[in-house]
Amino acid sequence: MGVREGELPKADRGRRYMVRRYASRELRLYYFLLRDNLHIEGYYNRSLDFDEVKMQLEDLKYYIEKIKEEIKGRA
């Protein structure tokens, strides 16, 4: 199950579409929260301090584990 890496969306619009279509509600919420916090606040706005970045990266690890669990559940 899945797609080849070359078929994955490269633009944010495509990633949002894929998340909305295929991810569970819980994973959608995590994705959009992490995207807003790490990508927009951290990268573009540079408004996160080191402690906040550390917390967000820990949340990202949790999100990755949840994805792994969901994939195992579908197999």
Residue 1 has pLDDT above 80, yes or no: no
Over residues 21-72, the pLDDT tens digits come to 888 999 999 999 999 999 899 888 989 899 999 999 999 999 999 989 988 8
At residue 4 the predicted structure's pLDDT band, cuts being 50, 70 and 90, is: confident
* CB crowding 33-71: b at 16 or more within 10 Å, else e: ebeebbeebbeeeeebeeeeeeebeeeeeebeeeeeeee
pTM of the model: 0.75
